[in-house]
Amino acid sequence: MSQKVRLAERVISASRAARVAKASRLGIMVSAILTFLIFAISYYGEVVGNFTFSVDRMAQNAGITMYENATEKDYTSRLIATKVEDNQGMTAYCGTEYTLYQLGDAVCIPSDEELTSKDGSNNGESYISYTFYVENAGDVPVDLIASVNMISSSQGADEAIRVRVIIDGIGITYAKRQSDKGTAPGELEPLTETFYSPQEVMHEKISYFKPNDVMKVTVVVWYEGEDADHSIAILGGGVKLDMQFTVIEVYDL
């Protein structure tokens, strides 16, 4: 039995259980259930294209480099995470008040521990997960800016996208603020931080990154099925993202 069929069965079961709830809550639950059901039987043409990670020329000159395998350390200035083929909605809210789904369900985004357990690509059926390392192989400390950029978006797909960035075990999930379709337009989506700007998902400063310092980075991307904008309206849409590391200051020894 396919994942989509199992998901559809869970959705139908959840819908029946919801009928005993109060009318005000019933409408919200049914709306969320229907959103998941739509994407259990159809999926986006493109969830995310190949996700590119790079260090710019100034960072390269300062000795900043990357690799995806902690043992082999094949140094490079550019890495690529491949897209997934099945792009139905997932959720990071399992086990919380924001969804009917419990931890371990097929539609749940895995824990940070699981996501970071494998170097390189660790994609699920419907989400991208990629782990790599950034190292200062130069001779002087530097300040870095790590940014995730929205290169392109179509049919409002960026309204429902989630980008979780885990640096040395500390994770933050980024999302656009709630649209007019949300329960609190203009407010943050639950358990997220807002995009840095319309075109920049994340903008994080890494201060005094010393020679031989290494940071482990995992990036996870999915469409949040509990987002009010995750609907048939964005069917066929997609986003393209990249992540760049830029040196903004070089220190003298």
- Among 14-18, 107-111, 214-218, 248-252, the minimum mean pLDDT is found in 14-18
Residue 76 has pLDDT above 70, yes or no: yes
Residues 57-78, mean pLDDT to the nearest whole number: 96
Find the range with the poorest average confidence among 1-15, 158-172, 186-200, 206-220. 1-15
Residues 6+ apart with CB under 8 A from 160: 89, 223, 224, 227, 229, 230, 234
Query: What pLDDT does residue 25 have?
Result: 43
Residue with tokens 């407010």: 187
User: Global pTM?
Assistant: 0.81
% of residues, the chain, pLDDT over 90: 68
- Look at 49 and 53; give whichever has higher pLDDT: 53
Q: State the pLDDT at residue 237.
A: 80
